[in-house]
Chain A
Amino acid sequence: MNDSSMEPTTSINRLPAPPKSGRWIVPGLGLFQGLMVAGRNMFESYYKKERMTTIQYPEQRAPISPNFRNFPFLCYDKDPVAGLRCTACSICENECPPKCIYIVLDRDENGKSLKRPKVFDIDISVCMNCGICAEVCPFDSIYMDGEYELSNDDRFSGLLLGLDRLSKSAEYHMQLRPEEASEVMARRKADEEKKAAAQAAKEAKAKADKEAKEKAAAEAQAATEQKGESA
């Protein structure tokens, strides 16, 4: 590097550069043009429909976008406890970037997993609304809410949402995001049908096996009886 090139500019010509095009013929013309723009913008804000966008907030509300996300909620079918889709698998807990989810798995007295959360807390003072928990959940359990009026005078327990405040029904989800919810419902229904069909098939197979076994046993018995008779 050349040393002289490192020297900063020290002398500055404070006079404006000579005009290139016709812009500088009248001194102050640029300023006047700018003022015209500002003036037009000011008057337009009084009569142009697209400029009058103020919404009187507590009385009126702007519609929220269907993709809008704020804080997560847990989805349940029908019953808030038994119908909770969450299986406490802790995937969201591990993937959560600020680690604001806390899950404890519910177990029965023998220590066997009940596949449901005993504690499911989300600290929304830490949550960064990213939606990764909703994205990674394999059980269609956690979704992003659109609720935004969450101010609270209790900054500790008021902002720590537990199961009681997080659980929301599938109907609420349907209302919030009809497209996504109906897709999920259709998939769950198909899965359930598949499961039921598999279960039925399994049962039928078991039944058939049982029948076959019984038949074979009966035949064997009959054969032995026959043998005995013949003997």
Chain B
Amino acid sequence: MISDPSMFSPPPALEAGPDDDQLLRVSLGPQHPSTHGVFRMNVVLDGETVVSLKPVFGYLHRNHEKIAESVTYLSSMPYTDRLDYICPLTNNWAYASAVEKLAGIEVPERAEYMRIILGELTRLINHTAFAGFILGDMGAWGSALMYAFREREKILDLFEDVTGARMMSNFMRFGGCRNDLPAGWADKVSVLVDGYGPFLDEMEKFLLGNEILLVRTRDVGQLPKEVLINGGITGPMLRAAGVNYDIRKVEPYGIYDRFSFRIPLGEKGDCYDRIMIRFLEMRESLKILRQALDQLPEGPFINPKTKIRNFKPPVGEAYARIEGPKGELGFHLISDGTVNPLRYRIRPPSFINLTLLEDMCLGLDLADVVIILGSIDIVLGEVDR
């Protein structure tokens, strides 16, 4: 395997072809600030126009799935934080719901509400950070990112109060959550939710009327709906193209069927729609948060029947999916009745959304590639796993 010398030959796009002396080959990344981590693109340019784009990833591969098969079910939980490190709580939620489905564990009412609140706060974090990063990709590094991160930090402080860590939360458990919400925490969230609307107004005023942003994002990176659907694209990327597909509505997990909210849809599916749709989604998230905070019941935060030590689900197979901030996040588990899973597989939204990158970029300028990559909203921790 490793002794095979062809593994170490340079990737095909960097080799000179017979008739393409005029083409310029650029290795964009992996240490490029706009590649959102260690991601490399071998781009072939004709002048400024992209002729071919081959992604090279795996620099951040951490063997997550194999590690999870060799440790206990509970021990995989902190590893899921490190998948999409911008939004750890939705990763926890997806994994916990997969194990719950596998072992047939019921989740108490209060835990469901806590999950909804934390999950929607995570969506706010992700989309806010996205709004900051996309401006960084357009060359406006600084203000927008700082405003976004200022608000994000407020939510992270709330997360630290509950879970004990800003980002590596490790909070959801099979059948509930690890600990109860601290006293007065729900009030703090209410204050934050009330203050978030004005922040979004400010951010929209700051970004979305900006002529430079409009020119650089309108009609950039469009793909037909059919291509997106066939490519398995999910999340805001798909909805920006006008496909009404949100797992919170299509297959309501948890208690999402109790809340009234709408799914924003885009028209064209260009980068501008992708930015806009995230702003609209944040406003819907605020609606869900207000309802959940009003209805938050008292009660146990974890199913008391769940075993913490020596947890062995019955033999079987389960796939559970949730609508993560980036798209459909699913965990597929196969149990053979022992303490560790026989097979553990993740369906990561960033990775699958990245597969159509070349189709979106062909024929555009190199500067557009960076914006398109930013508009997909990838996190390399999840792409490489």
Chain A contact residues, CB within 8 Å of chain B: 1-2, 5-6, 8-14, 16-17, 23, 27-31, 33-34, 37-38, 41, 65-69, 91, 94-97, 128-132, 135-136, 138, 144
Contact = CB atoms under 8 A, between A and B. Distances in A.
Given A31-B210, A132-B74, A67 B160 contact: yes
A136 B173 CA distance: 12
B164 interface: yes
B362 interface: yes
Q: Choose among A14, A95, A138 the residue with the greatest number of B CB atoms under 10 Å from its CB.
A: A95
A41 B147 CA distance: 9
B373 to A, nearest CB: 15
Interface string B134-163: 000000000100010000000000001111
Nearest to A51: B150
- The list of the 6 closest CB pairs from A to B, nearest first, reads A30-B209, A130-B78, A10-B363, A8-B362, A97-B75, A69-B164
Contacts, number: 116
Given A11-B363, A14-B215, A136-B74, 6 more contacts: A30-B211, A41-B143, A97-B77, A130-B168, A136-B308, A144-B164
B255 interface: no
Interface of B: 71-72, 74-79, 143, 147, 160-165, 168, 170, 178-179, 182, 202, 205-215, 218-220, 222-224, 226-227, 230, 308-309, 359-364
Nearest to A29: B209
Contacts of A144: 164
B150 to A, nearest CB: 9
Contact of B363 (A5, A8, A14): A8
Contacts of B77: 97, 130, 132
Nearest to B147: A41
Contact of A94 (B72, B163, B360, B362): B72
B329 to A, nearest CB: 20
Contacts of B214: 16-17, 30
A66 B359 CA distance: 49
A174 B99 CA distance: 35
Given A30-B214, A34-B209, A132 B359 contact: no
Q: Choose among B160, B168, B206, B361 the residue with the greatest number of A CB atoms under 10 Å from its CB.
A: B206
A37 B205 contact: yes
Q: Choose among B165, B205, B215 the residue with the greatest number of A CB atoms under 10 Å from its CB.
A: B165
B215 A135 contact: no
Contacts of A129: 165, 168
Given A33-B209, A37-B205, A67-B160, A95 B72 contact: yes
Nearest to A99: B71
Contact of A128 (B78, B359, B363): B78
B165 A69 contact: yes
B141 to A, nearest CB: 13
Nearest to B76: A97
A97 B78 contact: yes
A136 B282 CA distance: 37
28 contacts: A1-B230, A2-B226, A5-B226, A9-B364, A10-B363, A14-B215, A16-B211, A16-B218, A17-B218, A23-B209, A30-B208, A30-B213, A30-B214, A33-B209, A33-B210, A34-B206, A38-B206, A66-B182, A69-B164, A69-B165, A94-B72, A95-B72, A95-B75, A97-B76, A130-B168, A131-B164, A131-B170, A132-B170
Contacts of A29: 209
A65 to B, nearest CB: 5
A12 B160 contact: no
